[in-house]
Amino acid sequence: MIKLTLENLEDFTRGTAFLGTGGGGDPYIGKLMLKHQLELGKKIEIITQNEISDDIFACNVLSMGAPTVFVEKVPNGPTTLHALREVEKIIGKKFNAIMPIEAGGVNATLPLVVSALSGLPVIDADGMGRAFPELQMVTYNVGDVDINPIVAINDFYETAIFNARNSSSGEWLARAVCVRMGGICEMACYPMTAKQIKETAIHGTIKLSFDIGEIIQRARNEKTDPVDAVISYMAKSNPPRFGKVLFVGKIDDLIRETVNGFTRGKLFLKSLDSSDELLVEFQNEFSYAKLNNEKLLAMVPDLICALDSETGEPITTDGLRYGQRIKIVAISAAPIMRSKKALDLFGPRAFGLDFDYTPLEEI
């Protein structure tokens, strides 16, 4: 059992920003939403892998949209809960738990807000083990979990309910409504049984956020390097996750657009002590890093994170600014995310990139 408190809240949201790999929106938003619930005395129960009983029936909840929009038009807990209730009405069955669809960004905190509002516990597992920009980019699709019904809702409680022929089509249709709802909407989809959760989700990712956030804070307190601390921690996890610093530099240029419901752009970094340059491209999240316009250093689904050079604080793509000094860190994705079927869902080609996946540790 993991317990969220006012004391460990900041560690948690820092960890979600790390796993957000640039996407998922400003962690400050998620922190404020959860702080409010905790101050009201609400309890948030988090169920870990070996506590998942066979009768668990959980719904994924999330906010869809461009992180650049999230900071002005923040995700809405009550409408998200309403979306979950709409799914219940359609399938004629009550949920007894909530799933985060992704482990990074505001979507890692929103399910906990819905938990506080509803009293339903949250499963410590998700479909991405990080953040990805699109609905179909979940390990649930390595198994055969049905995304339907997909409920999208806005602040007016207007709903759009989709029954799509597959999750990619669900993403395609729902994204258009998301844009028309103002670039953000709340959603509920992928209703899942205990068996489906056990077989297709990535487990322990809420715990991982707490740990990463805490390790960064501890390193700061101990005046050691927070980035090194995270890489060491990941290497000792089970299974071990390989990590390395790809680049240290300052932001030399930044192209960022909010387009078709995504934040898309390119981050250009210059080394502080050589002529090296790094390009990191993003669609909400960082998708690949390329050195001197020729050598790929890391790519999806491996995690690429931008951290403040001094404090190790994760920086989201909507928070990038010219002149910032940052470290780009990469961490290998969980093994379940590297199968052929998984790479079809969220490998480089799923992002429209013209190269195949090479694991981080082989580069």
Q: What's the min distance (Å) between Cβ of 183 and a copy of itself?
A: 12
Q: What's the min distance (Å) between Cβ of 187 and a copy of itself?
A: 13
Q: Number of residues in contact with a copy of itself, rule: CB under 8 A? A: 19
Q: What's the min distance (Å) between Cβ of 168 and a copy of itself?
A: 12
Nearer to a copy of itself, 158 or 356 (CB): 158
4, 137, 160, 330: which one contacts a copy of itself (CB under 8 A)? 160
User: Residues 6 or more apart from 55 whose CB is under 8 A from it?
Assistant: 96, 194
Nearer to a copy of itself, 13 or 154 (CB): 154
Nearer to a copy of itself, 33 or 179 (CB): 179
Nearer to a copy of itself, 169 or 358 (CB): 169
- The binding track of 120-159 with respect to a copy of itself, each residue x by CB under 8 A or -, is ------------------------------------xxxx
Do strands 184-193 and 122-123 pair parallel, antiparallel, or not at all (unpaired)? unpaired
The one-letter amino acid code at 70 reads F
Do strands 45-47 and 122-123 pair parallel, antiparallel, or not at all (unpaired)? parallel
66, 164, 197, 298: which one contacts a copy of itself (CB under 8 A)? 164
Short-list 27, 146, 122, CA closest to 75? 27
Stretch that binds a copy of itself, among 37-45, 132-140, 178-186, 220-228 (CB under 8 A): 178-186
Annotate 272-335 with DSSP letters as a single string: SSSS-EEEEEEESEEEEEEETTTEEEEETTSEEEEEETTT--B--GGG--TT-EEEEEEEPPPG
C-alpha–C-alpha distance, residues 99 and 52, integer Å = 12
Site of tokens 């489906």: 196
Nearer to a copy of itself, 82 or 130 (CB): 82
C-alpha–C-alpha distance, residues 242 and 232, integer Å = 9
Contacting positions for a copy of itself (CB under 8 A): 156-165, 169, 172-173, 175-177, 179-181
